[in-house]
């Protein structure tokens, strides 16, 4: 198995680089690649991380999942690119310095055609996509969330239309769900259909793999950004290895990996989806009343807005039942700024009809 300069024979773990674009100062932008090839045939699992350059717990989790002894008991192939955004990693920034926008919105979408030439980040994302689209059987796309966040798995909705039948979408959603249950973090469903496309998530790594190509994929958000959280690295490693077990690539998770996983459970029993909610009704300084992991009900106060002198201006309540997954950085807010990241009660189906699937 070869990707870039990583070339693994059966029973080996090989490392190398994949060149994705030339640099104006000479040389090339290279992505680190690890390939573990088992002695027996089996599925091909891709593990990716750090498409946002400051999401370093995902970087460490991807690296540590690729243990030197992994090929010894492996049936199939694991391909890992722990850093999809070297330009962002160099600056500890979410974006790359190519365009200073979200690099996770440039993956191919056949319904989004443009007359302009593709930007550099779009070319890079396309080359990453082309590397996995014809061979990957599943993809685990490691991210981290906001600076103050609990861990969770994002479950993208699965769409049907001209691209796939409803039955095919249901089969894909069932496999995606099994892999996520195996990974072991609380599951938070993606934004609903209209908001999903408004945010361009069909052009994210997971969106392109799942929506465009029918590859079961999901996005673990393992904590906050900028600092490596060793407990959540351990959770990410254990989760990746449990996915390998679910795919039939490993018989079991090594005892030391399983023992290091701290374990995380959802604080609510009902299905939830992502929400940036509630929003500030007025500009001011926010004083949160809730912390990540706190369960709230509709009508519960979650934050106060005060003046620069500390005088009360407004109390903001939640419109939904759910729990807090994280809080935005900073305390200065303008009108309609989101005050919390939440997992709110979700009554929409995972499998949906979508015109964008045509």
Q: Give whole-number Cα distances, 156 to 136, 188, 216, 317, in Å.
A: 18, 9, 10, 27
C-alpha 45/C-alpha 166 separation (Å) is 25
CA–CA separation, 95 and 109 (whole Å): 20
Beta-bridge mates of residue 304: 287, 315
- 299 and 202 in a common domain: no
Identify the band that residue 115 occupies on the pLDDT scale cut at 50, 70 and 90.
confident
Distance CA 75, CA 6 (A): 19
Instruction: State the CB neighbour count (10 A cutoff) for residue 166.
Output: 14
10 and 27, same domain (yes or no) = yes
Predicted TM-score of the model (pTM): 0.96
Rounded Cα gap, residues 352 and 212, in angstroms = 14
Residues 192 and 227 in one domain: yes
Distance CA 318, CA 275 (A): 11
Average pLDDT over residues 237-264: 97
Residue 357 belongs to some domain of the structure = no
Question: How many other CB atoms sit within 10 Å of the CB of residue 352?
Answer: 18
Return the exposure string of 53-75: e unless at least 16 CB atoms fall within 10 Å of the residue's CB, then b: bbbbbbbbbbbbbbbeebbeebb
Question: Would you say residue 111 lies in a domain?
Answer: yes
In terms of domains, do 33 and 141 share one? yes
- Same domain, yes or no: 109 and 175: yes
Say if 355 falls within a structural domain: no
Checking if the pLDDT of 1 tops 90, the result is: no
Mean pLDDT on 25-41: 97
* CA–CA distance, 269 with 206 (Å, rounded to integer): 25
Instruction: Answer yes or no: is 289 within a domain.
Output: yes
What the block records as the tokens of 4 is 């870039």
- Given 243, 265, 287, the domain boundary residue is 265
Tokens of 92: 């500890």
Residue 355's pLDDT band (cuts 50, 70, 90): low
Percent of the chain scoring above 70 in pLDDT: 99
Q: Give the distance from CA 50 to its chain's centroid.
A: 9
- Is the pLDDT assigned to residue 211 strictly greater than 60? yes
Q: How many CB atoms lie within 10 A of CB 14?
A: 18
pLDDT tens across 101-114, in order?
999 999 998 877 77
Q: Which band of pLDDT confidence, cut at 50, 70 and 90, is reported for residue 358? A: very low
One domain for residues 114 and 261: yes
265, 282, 310: which is the final residue of a domain? 265
The residue behind tokens 């499998």 is 351
Count of domains observed in the chain: 2
Q: Does a structural domain hold residue 354?
A: no
Q: Is residue 358 part of a domain?
A: no
Rounded Cα distance between 66 and 277, Å, is 37
Contact 234, 103 (CB under 8 A): no
Whether 163 and 286 map to the same domain: the answer is: no
Domain stop point among 225, 244, 265 = 265
Taking alpha carbons only, the member of 186, 191, 333 closest to residue 266 is 186
* Same domain, residue pair 283 and 252: no
Sequential DSSP letters for 116-164: SPPPHHHHHHHHHHHHHHTT-SEEEEEB--SSEE--EEEE--EEESSSS
CATH number at residue 312: 2.40.50.100
Model confidence at 357, pLDDT cuts 50, 70, 90, reads very low
Q: Yes or no: say if 11 and 39 are a contact pair by the CB < 8 Å rule.
A: yes
pLDDT at 111 (0 to 100): 77
d(CA 174, CA 328): 33
* Assigned domain for 301 exists: yes
CB atoms within 10 A of CB 306: 16
**pLDDT value at 140 more than 80:** yes
Q: Indicate whether 350 belongs to any domain.
A: no
Q: Mean pLDDT across the stretch 268-280?
A: 97
Residues 151 and 39 in one domain: yes
CATH of the domain at 174: 3.40.630.10
State whether 287 and 205 are in the same domain.
Answer: no
Supply the DSSP symbol for 8. Answer: P
* CA–CA dist 325, 184 (Å, integer): 16
Measured between alpha carbons, how far is 84 from 29 in angstroms, rounded to an integer? 10
- Cα radius of gyration rounded to whole Å, the chain: 21
Residue 164 lies in domain: 2-265
- 300 plus 254 within the same structural domain: no
């Amino acid at each position: 198995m070869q990707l870039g300069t990583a070339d693994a024979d059966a029973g080996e773990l090989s490392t190398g680089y994949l060149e994705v674009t030339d640099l104006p100062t000479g040389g090339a932008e290279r992505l680190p690649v690890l390939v573990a090839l088992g002695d027996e045939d089996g599925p091909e699992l891709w593990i990716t991380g750090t498409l946002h350059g400051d999401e370093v717990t995902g970087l460490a989790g991807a690296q540590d999942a690729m243990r030197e002894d992994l090929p010894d008991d492996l049936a199939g192939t694991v391909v890992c690119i722990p850093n999809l955004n070297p330009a962002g990693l160099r600056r500890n920034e979410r974006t790359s310095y190519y365009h200073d926008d979200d690099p996770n919105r440039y993956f191919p979408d056949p319904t989004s055609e443009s007359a302009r030439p593709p930007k550099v980040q779009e070319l890079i994302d396309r080359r990453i996509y082309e590397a996995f689209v014809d061979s990957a059987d599943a993809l685990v796309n490691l991210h981290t969330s906001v600076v103050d966040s609990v861990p969770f798995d994002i479950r993208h909705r699965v769409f049907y239309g001209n691209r796939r039948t409803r039955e095919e979408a249901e089969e894909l959603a069932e496999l995606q769900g099994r892999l996520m249950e195996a990974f072991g973090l609380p599951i938070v469903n993606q934004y609903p259909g209209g908001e999903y496309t408004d945010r361009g998530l069909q052009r994210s790594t997971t969106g392109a793999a799942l929506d465009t190509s029918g590859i079961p994929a999901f996005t673990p958000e393992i904590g906050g950004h900028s600092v490596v959280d060793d407990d959540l690295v351990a959770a990410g490693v254990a989760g990746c290895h449990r996915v390998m077990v679910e795919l039939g690539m490993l018989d079991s998770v090594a005892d030391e990996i399983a023992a290091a996983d701290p374990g995380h459970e959802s604080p609510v029993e009902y299905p939830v989806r992502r929400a940036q909610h509630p929003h500030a009704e007025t500009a001011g300084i926010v004083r949160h009343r809730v912390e990540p992991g706190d369960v709230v009900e509709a009508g519960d106060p979650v934050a106060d807005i005060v003046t620069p002198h500390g005088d009360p201006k407004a109390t903001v309540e939640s419109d939904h039942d759910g729990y807090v997954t994280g809080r935005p950085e900073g305390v200065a807010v303008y009108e309609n700024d989101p005050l919390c990241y939440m997992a709110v009660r979700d009554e929409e189906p995972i499998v949906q009809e979508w015109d964008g699937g045509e």
